Chains A and B, each alone.
Chain A
């Protein structure tokens, strides 16, 4: 590749991230950096109890404290019909509690004051009289006879059951199980964890009393959808709402939902006529905002005498917290969980799911996950390893023998997903070779003979990302397209505006590279803007690895539209016919006469100065891309662990990750995404946990209890790739942000279970902490 081409920044080039210049210099612009004239500060009073009836709220002392402008209660919100709001899962959620509190950390009242200190002092002076009720902290508790009714305000709600949902073919699956040579069962709990972005959620709501225009600066991964939701909830005309998401310090799904704090701050600004800032502290973020997982799963895998998987049966109980507000746009109650057959050609499957209310925070966000694919991938990959161990088969070989074969694509899964492309054996082989699997297997046996506890884990995941086509997805009816608007200036530089919103993924670089590839303008000459609903085209936002599959496709398509117009202008300038021109990245030339050429910069100038007769001026366009199908990234991860028999500590010795996300636009950014995901997967596997005591007190409400891995404990990652383009994406790209978080937890846990399997240990639920490993070993009499 020549030096000039390297400067261009087209597809496949690992150019440095354009946004990093400001981030590395501390010049990012986050919500809390924003100060508006006469801005007030809001502090939220939260419930100390998981379940309690509110007998009274006394704000008199708080209201007369220095600097206090207003104390907002549920009663006041109710007067404006804003005490409750709709959720994305067609339930309702309390904005400020009026009747009961239903989880610890629930919003009860808010103080608006001149300074944050004054707001917090006054918040502590609000007196709430609670009648404490028994708390429900698990689906098991929720369905127990005599369980307290959590949603007693909902008409017709007689118990804590939210939904029952099924997928697949029950009869066919039953029949397959009846004929199975072997059935392997795994019961596992994927515990509640939290995206924990380093920047917490917050907003500055600025409702101008003169114009009625509401400008809301907000930590949102989906500003346009939020604007529409706000319009529907508040009744404000949509043109009077402007949502601006500035730089975002990590989202991971946590910044998709509408949180009560946003609504209260906006209502307060509207009532008071001054801007109101609300910034969560760390504990508020961990205890009240969108959690992830909390799935209790039982999987049965039927295998025939030849070691072929013949059927899969799964039941899951979902713990949804106090309000069903899963932030997911699919038409399926358990999200995309029915991708659970994963990478395997399993002829039939049947999935049943039940959702339950509990006295825990609501939210069910997809923490770096495409709507419950993480739980599905974890279950099938754990189950497959357990089946291999139980059947005495090699984990890798058992997978290889059951993979969907490359020639089967496009492949329709037993639950109806149409996998676009894949080559699973290839990714597996690259991973095994990188790992030195055969040698390692022998080494494991040798070490075990010496009394060491060591093992290898494999996971071969299939992801489903890029939501999504209108048949299966929408947000309150809005189809899941995304958009790109490209404007080329007379000097040949460009502005690309998008409906997505980066939270650190590197959109300003990746999408500029797509323009560089498709329209020939160097990536450094393309400014990318997102996040301002008054300027960016409408889009559904960034989550579930959808930006490259959807908005990336839109960027390619709009670039091609402009290229078509550029061809006509070039033909005019070169006095040639359109069809006589050839495109080479960055210029058009006359067939057979490469010297007769016009660069895209010359063409851009002509678009404003020297147009063909009758042509509209300018070089600009917009494209809304409605994806025809999901994309299906995949890969094989392999982990080697050593276990300390004395303390139960697990040390990850090796971690090999081979990803196939189709065509890589910026390989460095892709690798960065994979490193991040593998780190989060490691955290989820070994330390991250939001749990509750029997009274519903949240344990994991700060970073001393909710553990995030640091560089110190995170293993070294050895990464590799294969490239199987998506056949339906204009660039062949698939999206990669979440593959590693989805695929890696099972690989880590499989390694631990493989290590413990000689002692007859078949499962430890995440997080696999040293005390759990110790208990498992001691229960089998293994000690130091």
Chain B
């Protein structure tokens, strides 16, 4: 598998590598060896960890050859994104562009084109890096993850999925086969604002905002935060404060204040905790203004 990387020197610790061609086979393998295995889709997070020996799994289970998982579809009022849909596919998909335009906007911000060409949305969500972009978007959109194992299938709400840094509600014997996103019934708009130090960098702070409107009133607001806590954070209080309200400078300012207090960042090389909280505030304000404009645009 090193061939396509151009024979560059990469020196992970030894591991087994399996690439099953059916989901059943993959789930059988995980049933047996899930505890010591890492599931790999696009490999854009896992391979760097292997190379640096930060991750030393006994088995890398490559699901890249499983059939029918690279599809975006629309079913039963939901958008369905398969486990092998890559960031670049999200950027370009018409169904997503029409029904959840925030996704294309967020996809542009992910790493660089090289990573976007190989990395997958579902893989990134399952990697559960608190600095990952998709987690915040999934939280803002109230997405659900479908996890399969030999024991069957269960559906996990995004809000229940992220537990700790790089830790999710997923069991070692499970594979997330798809993510489902409810399609907003009426006018809706979203925005993804990201502060990064340079292109390809993880976010210093990013904020996903989605509003669904009925006339001038917000029926549902979704706000997801990136890089300001141990996981991607759903700013629930801010979301609640907006429900049923008109988006005015005042309600927006209050929501921004609540979202900033939901953030729990740490001081680090990217900036102080106070800085990051304030950028959350600024981005929620900007995001809500943009989202409002987009929701209104859509009406006309």
Contact = CB atoms under 8 A, between A and B. Distances in A.
Q: Which of B200, B270, B271 has the most CB of A within 10 A?
A: B271
Contacts of B279: 646-647, 774
Contact of B200 (A691, A705, A710, A784): A710
A687 B198 contact: yes
Interface string A764-784: 000001110011001000011
A671 interface: no
Nearest to B200: A710
Contact of B204 (A32, A281, A770): A770
B272 interface: yes
A704 B272 CA distance: 18
B9 interface: yes
Given A120-B11, A691-B269, A705-B269, A775 B275 contact: yes
Given A32-B9, A770-B204, A709 B271 contact: no
Contacts of A712: 198-199
A475 interface: no
Contacts of B197: 687, 707, 769-770
Contact of B195 (A649, A699, A775): A649
A769 B268 CA distance: 13
Q: Which of B53, B279, B286 has the most CB of A within 10 A?
A: B279
A19 interface: no
Contacts of A783: 278
A281 B11 CA distance: 10
Interface string A116-143: 1100110010000000000000000000
A713 interface: yes
A194 to B, nearest CB: 15
Contacts of B204: 770-771
B270 A771 contact: yes
B202 A771 contact: no
Interface string B268-291: 011110010011001001100000
B198 A279 contact: no
Interface residues of A, number: 32
Interface residues of B, number: 23
B201 A707 contact: yes
A121 B14 CA distance: 9
Contacts of B13: 121
A686 to B, nearest CB: 9
A713 B11 contact: no
A279 B271 CA distance: 34
B269 A770 contact: no
Contacts of B11: 116-117, 120
A618 to B, nearest CB: 45
Nearest to B11: A120
Contacts of B202: 704
Contacts of A699: 269
Given A32-B9, A279-B9, A713 B271 contact: no
A130 to B, nearest CB: 20
Contacts of A121: 13-14
A222 to B, nearest CB: 26
Interface in A741-784: 769-771, 774-775, 778, 783-784
B99 to A, nearest CB: 29
Contacts of A708: 198
Interface in B3-57: 9, 11, 13-14, 53
B258 to A, nearest CB: 17
Contact of A774 (B199, B200, B278, B286): B278
B195 A707 contact: no
B282 A116 contact: no
A46 B271 CA distance: 29
A713 B9 contact: no
B282 A784 contact: yes
Given A707-B201, A770-B204, A647 B269 contact: no
A648 B14 CA distance: 45
Given A117-B11, A769-B197, A647 B282 contact: yes
A381 B107 CA distance: 41
B33 to A, nearest CB: 22
A774 B53 CA distance: 37
Contact of B198 (A117, A689, A707, A774): A707
Contact of B278 (A124, A707, A713, A778): A778
B199 A713 contact: yes
Contacts of A771: 204, 270-272, 275
Contacts of B9: 32, 116, 279, 281
Nearest to B269: A699
A647 B201 contact: no
A122 to B, nearest CB: 12
Interface string B164-198: 00000000000000000000000000000001011
Interface in B228-284: 269-272, 275, 278-279, 282
A117 B12 CA distance: 8
Nearest to B6: A26
Contacts of A281: 9
A649 B195 CA distance: 9
Interface in A174-201: none
Interface string A678-708: 0000000001010100000001000011011
A770 B198 contact: no
A710 B113 CA distance: 13
A771 B227 CA distance: 15
B198 A709 contact: yes
A489 to B, nearest CB: 38
B177 to A, nearest CB: 30
Given A281-B9, A687-B197, A704-B201, A775 B272 contact: yes
Nearest to A711: B199
A719 B143 CA distance: 50
Nearest to A115: B11
A423 to B, nearest CB: 37
A770 B201 CA distance: 14
A775 B272 CA distance: 9
Contacts of B278: 774, 778, 783
A533 B285 CA distance: 64
B148 to A, nearest CB: 33
A499 to B, nearest CB: 32
B162 to A, nearest CB: 22
A775 B271 CA distance: 9
Contacts of A279: 9
Nearest to B267: A771
A109 B10 CA distance: 21
B3 to A, nearest CB: 16
B198 A710 contact: yes
A124 B269 CA distance: 29
Contacts of A769: 197, 271
Nearest to B53: A124
B272 A770 contact: no
Contacts of B270: 771
A770 B195 contact: yes
Interface in A711-741: 712-713
B249 to A, nearest CB: 13
Q: Which of A116, A120, A699, A774 has the most CB of B within 10 A?
A: A774
B288 to A, nearest CB: 14
Contacts of B282: 646-647, 784
Contacts of A704: 201-202
Given A32-B9, A281-B9, A710 B271 contact: no
Contacts of A710: 198-200
Contacts of A691: 269
B198 A646 contact: no
14 contacts: A120-B11, A646-B279, A647-B195, A649-B195, A687-B198, A704-B202, A707-B198, A707-B201, A710-B199, A771-B270, A774-B278, A774-B279, A783-B278, A784-B285
3 smallest CB-CB distances across A and B, nearest first, come from A771-B271, A646-B282, A712-B199
Given A712-B199, A771-B204, 8 more contacts: A120-B11, A124-B53, A646-B279, A647-B279, A691-B269, A713-B199, A769-B197, A778-B278
